[in-house]
Structure 1
Amino acid sequence: MDTLWLVGIGTGSLSHITLEGVKALQQAAVILVPRKGDQKDDLAEIRHRIIEETGSQARIVHFEYPVRDPDLPYQERVKQWHDEIARRWQVAIAGVDITGPVALLVWGDPSLYDSTLRIAERLSPAPQVRVIPGITAIQALTAAHAIPLNTVDGSVMITTGRRLRAEGLPHNAETTVVMLDGLCSFQNLDADGWHIWWGAYLGSDQQILIEGPLADVASQIVETRAAAREQHGWIMDSYILKRR
């Protein structure tokens, strides 16, 4: 693997890939596609559909995504998980005749709460890495709700559900984007004074959007999210909080 291309695919829609990303997939010799277990097979199918729609003739090589060890401390858990993913990349392409770049389709964006770049640093020998950004989950969310991200001259904070549960919202936060929140951590906040814009499966036929005063729609989001995850076997969602 002399060259590794990381292609941002937004939230899994071909319309979220740039023309540069389409061209990269067309020029790639090999594309690595993760499988995440029976309940998430459609995540691989979405990647396959994107590859097919770009007209790419690359060889598809699959690898099984490892599961994080919940008994380890968070940082150690993530470190070992990244080590194992890098190892599986290399095992997957061992013996494959690679005549050009290897590509990976990155959900969301390679720069934003994604560790593909950190995993790539673990490869030996180190490949030459090229990043082709796509539409980020945040762009898809603001576009779906037709709202600007920031207030006039206002600051924006991007955080995770885990940090929100541990630390809450900073007192000076005007706009907060929350990602990777499987526990709906907004339930731990004082709902008064906040407005929420939530979205799942952004850009797809299954897209779901809910917005309103947090006190009014929090329970609706929790119930809707649980039902959608049960129906599809997986869910990818994010939300924005603004002071009212």
Structure 2
Amino acid sequence: MVFLRLFTSTLVLLAVARPSWRGRSRADWLVVAGFGASLGTMNWAIYQSFARIPLGLAVTIEFIGPLTLAVLGSRRARDLVWVGLAALGVVLLGFEPADLDPVGVGFALVAGAAWASYILLSARTGQRWPGLDGLAIASAFATLLLTGPAIVSGGTALLDPHVLMVGAMVGVLSSVIPYSCELVALRTLAPSVFGILMSLEPAAAALAAIVVLGELLSPLQWLAVACVVAASVGATRSRPVLAEPAPD
């Protein structure tokens, strides 16, 4: 599914952007390759986590990546409060181990690290590549990274019309539209401000899991999600909004 999601989004983005492959510097290619690697890793790891722990909890743990990015960008002691609040949320999740497969938690943490890299490299890609060119090429790079593993694990199922249709829908709705909007937004927003706008994602994921998958969270797990959301809002809002530096 991750491969089909990226493959579909790549086809759409390449058709829309029609990126120019010439006249780019080595630094431009390194940035877009790193962006593609973070994009592929983020998608692969979080889907592996979804397969093992509830969706809302997986996204809550994953959000520790962007939260850490916001906190590391600050030099004030009071930001330790937000780190402690986020840590409390993670500890609360651990009180109900029946829902927390260690491997699923590990994949969510990997996805969080990749998400933090995605935010930074998306901003850099938007500065170096015009329009959606960088996103299209990064998506193609991520697709190439996952092609071999997808063929090995999926086999002929990748040719099933129903699977292809679902993969195409997921690719457009969860990759083409949001990633394009994020790339454009990060051209003018500092990553810290972007973190504010993304801070409700764990709660939104938990609600989606209830509606679509029937995955119900306990009151303690909802409290854990609330702690991570509050920590992310506090950490990002307490930072002064500064313009991002120009690319080297």
TM-score tier, shorter chain, comes to under 0.3
Structure 1 or 2: larger strand share? 1
Higher relative contact order (CA 8 A, sep 6+): 2
TM-score, L = length of structure 1 = 0.23
